[in-house]
Amino acid sequence: MDVSVFSPAKINLFLAVTGRRADGFHDLVSVAAPLDFGDELRVGNEELGAGSQTPDGGKITLECDDAAVPVDGSNLILKAAAAFAAATDWKGGASFRLTKRTPLGAGLGGGSSNAVAALRALNQLAGGLLDERRLTEVAATLGSDCALFVKNAPVVMRGRGERVEQLADAAAVRLRGRRVLVFKPSFGISTPWAYRRMVARGSDYVSTAEAEARLAAWMNGAAAAEELCFNNLEPAAFGKFIALPVLLEKLRRQFGVTARMSGSGSACYALLREDFATVPVVACIRESWGPAAFVQEARIA
């Protein structure tokens, strides 16, 4: 049996990094939302590509249509398969085929989303051995962004990102279905680098109390998604990658859109009205960042 699972990209509409933890991670308060754009992961019984072994020797293989994506044990899909086998005593083998659309090094959660897609696909093949609670627990062991993709809805993330709760309907309705233009320059930004830069700067953190107050004010009000957008990782990234703030300011000034960096970058997004024509914005992005820039319109799921 083959199983195909959609692996959505995400954007961080609100990201407040509040401080560094004793374990080296950072605490944050964030609102993240999946998009209707992303990768496709298929898992079946064929033996393809490079792979790894489950704890009981089952063959796990991976191939991808993007040569830049590693298909060895460093890939989160294979790590997810090993974690699934360890959590369930599943002894089967599987081969994954990943159709990659979400760009790498973008802050769009592509690798984390792939990991959760792998968990979901294996769970279907194995007959549903994990309920959502256990699936979330296993996902959280793979990376800070992974647990949010289990919900497949706008969520609030806390801690290092592993504490996830679905956004209340009254707030989520102001996000779902919104048009978003996602764009990324030809370069990526390493998430560890961005956080190290934030530590070195030392002045960009906001307190947990301030972050929670800002979030609560938006959640308990009626303001549009534009009023939620915030990211205090931007100064760390913008200090080195000047092309980002220059373009975002240009888009705000010329087109009146709310434009922000997503996560640790380098991808950015702009929220669009339903009647907004994207052609001039896309032309501005191409003119600023060149023809290699990634540009994709999507909607918040």
Q: Which residues have a catalytic role annotated?
A: 10, 145
Report residue 190 as tokens.
């390493």
Q: How far apart are CA 65 and CA 154, in angstroms?
A: 29
164 sits in the region (left: phi over 0; alpha: psi -120 to 50; else beta) called: beta
DSSP assignment of 72-111: STTSHHHHHHHHHHHHH-----EEEEEE--SPTTSSS-HH
3-state secondary structure of 298: strand
From 113, 80, 115, 99, select the one nearest 41 (Cα to Cα).
Answer: 99
Q: How far apart are CA 113 and CA 35, in angstroms?
A: 11
Alpha helices in 234-295 (DSSP H): 234-238, 243-255, 279-289
Residues in CB range of 104: below 8 A, 6 or more apart: 68, 69, 110, 188
